[in-house]
Structure 1
Amino acid sequence: MGKKGKNTTNNETSVDPIQYYDITMNILFTMVSEPFYLFHFLTFFSYFSIRFSTSQLFSPQFAGNLLHRELQALLAFCTLAVVKMVKEETWEGFVADMLLFAKVFLVGIALVVDYHLALWFMLTFLVIYVFTQQPAYMGLGSSTQLTPLQLESLLTEGGTSRFWLVEFRSSVSSICIRTSRVLPELSITFSNKNISFGVVDLGLFPNTASRFGISLGTPDQLPTYILFENAEEVCRFPGMNSVTKASDITKKRLCQHFELDKHLLDYVSGK
């Protein structure tokens, strides 16, 4: 009996290899299916191909100096990765920062090898920037994708929820992409019959911005979060004349600003 109990405890605390397999396969699928990640991976991989295929052309002194620079860049990159992992709240923001740092270090190392190689990498990254973009968060959540017509219908004709917290964002905004998982994750915790969550893409419907007092010019106010109660605006974040920063948009700050804990308690208590 004691031996059986011991095995049960070990099974409970051991890590399921199937879970690691699923995570790995999801990462590989995303890397292959998303042009943004695929092209970055191929560009970074091309450096190693060039590096090893031309290593015999380098003198021992130059090869030693290049290896020293590469180790310095790797150490600096790992240090920044640790710092950003602690500070960043979303994986989208972490990945965006890591890709930026990797590009800077790669171009810097390429300059040590040959400035033509550095120019080639800069041109490649420019093409990737022009023709692809980082995908937004598409994971779990209870937020609803709304068209302006659907939102107007919910606000004017009423719906099942007394409150609607709506995020106005654009699929081409880097800040919106970095913070795209914040509202879906909040909706998992706070969505109920009293409050619902929605998203309107102003990149697809830019004329809707003026209807809700959102500026799409410079400075950009996206994303903007507005809480509606029975078709009336209760509050918004950021304010009318404020500028949105990615570091300002966190689950904790939005929860406090829109009093989501209070709305959840009111629902539980039947208010």
Structure 2
Amino acid sequence: METNQSDKQLNSITLLNQMMSDPYYLFHFLAFFSYIPVRCAASQVFSPLFSSYLLHREIQAVIAFSVLTVVKVVREETWEAFIADTIFFAKIFLFGIALVVDYHLALWYMLAFLVIYILTQQPPYQGIGATLQLTPLQLEALLTDGNTSRFWLVECRALSSSACVQASRVFPELSITYSNKNLSFGVVDLGLFPNTAEKFGVSLGSNDRLPTYILFENGVEITRFPELDFEAKTSTSTITKKLLCRHFELDRHLIDYINSK
């Protein structure tokens, strides 16, 4: 119990340090914090009636933002997805309040957020769990080598995709629980090897196909998520550990391995 608490505290400290040092988080923090001095300076020229109206709108925005944040804490699978959604909502509310103050201020915030979007990118989860970071050639060699695991579950991703960043924690955490001598986990970053994307049946131009998870048995693909014909379906499921466990029957694979020992 004490070890789990220490790990959680360490993860929280690591996440906090990353948020304060990474340009993506730092620039957003500065943009949000800038409203305070702007508000204090502008309040001196506001009439008492407008100041009261603005304060009322700010309180409404804070309450609405807090409610959405609580909902996202409960519903989101990963911290990366929660932070991305929280920052997105914060941008909307800040833009709305700035629009109440003056439309010029709202335009400046819109420009600032556009620059941040162009110059920075949300960092992915840094842990690797029990996964192997592979090149396409390394993966092909492992799949054709009869001495390696019978099953390989491979994540094909591109960290330029926000969906891949927000789901980057799911696969390493799954690998910690389900990795064994019969089932191995590997990650191929197709953003670094775009010419091999077609080989895996992945289109880098479609965010709906990223990340793609493929299960190989003895070097042969047996299933994947999302499936190749998923465009004919209406489902756009968020990547979760429960979803991947159910689709690839990871519990069954683990039980089979335990029973075979």
The two structures have a TM-score, normalised by structure 2, of 0.91
- Which runs of 4 or more aligned residues in structure 1 lie more than 3 Å from their structure 2 counterparts after TM superposition? 16-25, 243-248
Q: Is the 8 A contact 1:142 1:184 kept in 2?
A: yes
Aligned to 1:117, which of 96, 101, 105? 105
User: What's the CA shift for 1:82?
Assistant: 1.4
Aligned residues of 1:158 and 1:230 also touching (Cα < 8 A): yes
Tell me the equivalent position of 2:130. Answer: 142
Residue 18 of structure 1: how far off its partner (Å): 7.9
Aligned to 2:248: 258
Instruction: Give the paired residue count.
Output: 258
Does structure 2 retain, via aligned residues, the 8 Å contact 1:168–1:201?
yes
CA contact (8 A) 2:214 2:223 kept: yes
The equivalent position to 1:61 in structure 2, one of 49, 53, 56, is: 49
Within 5 A, what are the aligned runs for 1:217-232?
A: 217-218=205-206, 220-232=208-220
**Structure 1 residue 256 displacement after superposition:** 1.2
Residue of structure 2 in register with 1:248 after alignment: 238
Cα offset, 1:245, TM superposition: 7.2
Moved more, 190-199 or 236-245: 236-245
List aligned pairs for 1:97-176, cutoff 5 A: 97-139=85-127, 141-176=129-164
Amino-acid identity (%): 63
- The one-letter code of the counterpart of 1:72 is Q
Q: CA deviation at 1:102?
A: 0.3
> CA deviation digits over 1:72-129, x for unaligned, max 9?
0001001111111221111111111111100000000001111111111000000111
Distance 1:61 1:17 in 2: 50
Alpha-carbon distance between aligned partners in 1 of 2:181 and 2:13, rounded to the nearest angstrom: 36
Counterpart-to-counterpart distance in 2, 1:246 and 1:188 = 26
**In structure 2, distance between residues paired with 1:223 and 1:109:** 36
Q: 1:203 to 1:113 in 2, by over 3 A?
A: same
State whether residues 95 and 106 of structure 2, in contact with CA within 8 Å, keep that contact through their aligned partners in structure 1.
Answer: yes
CA displacement, residues 3-50 of structure 1 (integer Å, 9 cap, x when unaligned): xxxxxxxxxx99x99889756643441123211000000100111121
**Distance change >3 Å, CA 159–CA 210, structure 1 → 2:** farther
**Aligned-residue CA RMSD in angstroms?**
2.4
**Which stretch of structure 1 is more off in the superposition, 28-37 or 147-156?**
28-37
The answer to whether the Cα contact below 8 Å between 1:163 and 1:228 also exists between their aligned partners in 2 is yes
The aligned counterpart of 1:267 is 257
Question: TM-score if structure 1 supplies the norm length?
Answer: 0.88
Unaligned runs of 5+ in 1: 1-12
**Distance in 2 of aligned mates of 1:23 and 1:219:** 29
Taking the TM superposition and a 5 Å limit, the aligned residue runs for 1:24-63 are 25-63=13-51
Q: Give the structure 1 partner of residue 70 of structure 2.
A: 82
Partner of 1:207: 195
CA contact under 8 A between 1:179 and 1:246: conserved in structure 2? no
Say which one has the larger Rg: 1
